[in-house]
Amino acid sequence: MIHSTSNSHSLPGGVPPVGAKPAGRPAPVAETRDTLDTTASTALREALAALPEVRPEVVATGRELAVDANYPPRAIIEDIARLFVQSRDLSSQD
């Protein structure tokens, strides 16, 4: 396991690795500019825009389930009810 206090610049026992520069001033760090590549988000927006607002197959499924007296199954309703009863009432918290 590597601890957060370990020194990654030396080998166990404090021996510097072969070819390591002697300790001294750190090398200057070149200034970098952060950039944001929006190509993926643009493609996602375009794909979402290409989808129809109303999907007939989903509407048909919803209509079938709405008239089904056994949907959702009783076991699911009971499980959800049990979760409500077991959950803490956060509205009375100070």
Encode 7-49 in three state secondary structure.
CCCCECCCECCCCCCCCCCCCCCCCCCCCCCCHHHHHHHHHHH
pLDDT computed for residue 73 by the predictor:
96
Do the domain assignments include residue 69? yes
Asked whether the predicted pLDDT for residue 93 surpasses 90, the reply is no
Do the domain assignments include residue 42? no
Do the domain assignments include residue 73? yes
What does pTM read for this prediction?
A: 0.37
Do the domain assignments include residue 33? no
Do the domain assignments include residue 64? yes
In the chain, the number of structural domains is 1
Predicted confidence (pLDDT) per residue in 24-58, tens digit: 676 667 677 888 888 889 999 999 999 899 999 99
Phi/psi of residue 28, each to 5°? -65, 145
Asked whether the predicted pLDDT for residue 12 surpasses 80, the reply is no
Q: Which domain holds residue 80?
A: 56-86
Do the domain assignments include residue 9? no
Do the domain assignments include residue 17? no
